[in-house]
A = this chain, B = another copy of it.
């Protein structure tokens, strides 16, 4: 195992995969800076993203690699990719093709606000209630 200094201050990409072989991937809109989605990558998804400049992720629930947009057409071209200090997360600044990144039909997956200063049950508030596209028409069921 590499020393912390080498991982944090070195120039070698050596992702710290978890027990399931996964790192976290955060995608933001390269133009607006908005957070679009949080997903995951295994080594193959990471390698394909680096090689192609197109975002690839790994679905933990479906246990498969997917190229973002392969079904919806809403691909993500990676403008810049970064890795964090301990190399267990990557940040993709992307050009999002089409109306949105979220499978619910919205631009961003983060369309609901959690109210602060409360204890107990919190009632979420929608920020982007209207859908940018019809997911039923874009994603095969």
Which residues of A approach B to under 8 Å, CB–CB? 8-13, 24, 26, 28, 33-35, 37-38, 47, 50-51, 53, 78, 80-86, 88-91, 102-104, 106, 109-119, 121-127
Contacts and interface: CB of A to CB of B under 8 A. Distances in A.
A122 B51 CA distance: 10
B85 A13 contact: no
Given A35-B28, A83-B110, A84-B38, A13 B122 contact: yes
A85 B114 contact: no
Contacts of A90: 114
Contacts of A103: 85
A89 B86 CA distance: 19
A119 B126 CA distance: 42
A85 B113 contact: no
